[in-house]
């Protein structure tokens, strides 16, 4: 792959067999690359900003290379399609329990803000459930627009 972009993906599940679901999502995501792949371990976390009574999450992160020709919006559509195939239903309730959540955190150094997609993810740097798995596989990664690495951002969280 010529001058690939690194895609950073955060995954979460708090319905069903969450560990198995994350493993299934890893496999589905691998179909989007022919480059190097890194997977974090699985992290059990408490729900953040979710409806009362929401179950605990299993979270993970994944990084892999995609072609530099990849359009961020098209790539996000592929992630949303994987969620849909895996049973994700969107009712409109913010942060509701879900079978799978696949978030595009970064795509190379691309910065954008559209109604459909913001890169880097606008809240990833504030969330330990994103930063801990990400720091495990990409400890020296710096979000576009930030001087701190994922590991440093994680240490600075309250």
Quick one: pLDDT band at residue 1, thresholds 50, 70, 90?
low
CB contact at 8 A, 60 and 100: no
| CA 39 – CA 30 distance, rounded (Å) | 10
b/e sequence 2-25, b meaning 16+ C-beta within 10 Å: eebbbbbbbbbbbbeebeebbbbb
pLDDT per position as a tens digit, 25-59: 999 999 999 889 999 999 999 998 888 889 999 99
Q: Which domain holds residue 97?
A: 5-156
Q: Please name which of 73, 74, 70, 78 lies closest in space to residue 31, comparing C-alpha atoms.
A: 78
Q: What is the reported pLDDT for 93? A: 67
For residue 81, the Cα-to-chain-centroid distance in whole angstroms is 14
Count of structural domains, the chain: 1
DSSP string, 47-74: -SS--TTPPPEEEEEEEEEE-TT--HHH
Q: What is the CATH classification number for the domain harbouring 127? A: 3.30.70.560
What is the rounded average pLDDT of the residues 112-135? 95
- State the burial class of residue 42 (Cβ atoms within 10 Å of its Cβ: 0-12, 13-18, 19+): middle
């Amino acid at each position: 792959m010529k001058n690939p972009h690194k895609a950073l993906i955060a995954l979460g599940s708090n319905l069903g067999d969450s560990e198995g679901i994350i493993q299934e999502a890893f496999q589905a995501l691998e179909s989007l690359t022919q480059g190097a792949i890194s997977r974090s371990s699985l992290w059990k976390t408490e729900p953040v900003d979710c409806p009362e009574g929401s179950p605990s999450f299993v979270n993970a992160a994944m990084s892999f290379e995609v072609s530099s020709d990849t359009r961020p919006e098209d790539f996000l559509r592929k992630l949303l399609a994987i969620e849909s195939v895996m049973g994700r239903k969107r009712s409109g309730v913010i942060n509701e329990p879900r079978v799978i959540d696949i978030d595009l955190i970064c795509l190379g150094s691309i910065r954008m803000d559209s109604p459909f997609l913001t890169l880097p993810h606008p809240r990833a740097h504030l969330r330990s459930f994103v930063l801990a798995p990400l720091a495990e596989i990409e400890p020296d990664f710096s979000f576009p627009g930030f001087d701190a690495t994922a590991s440093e951002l994680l240490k600075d969280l309250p």
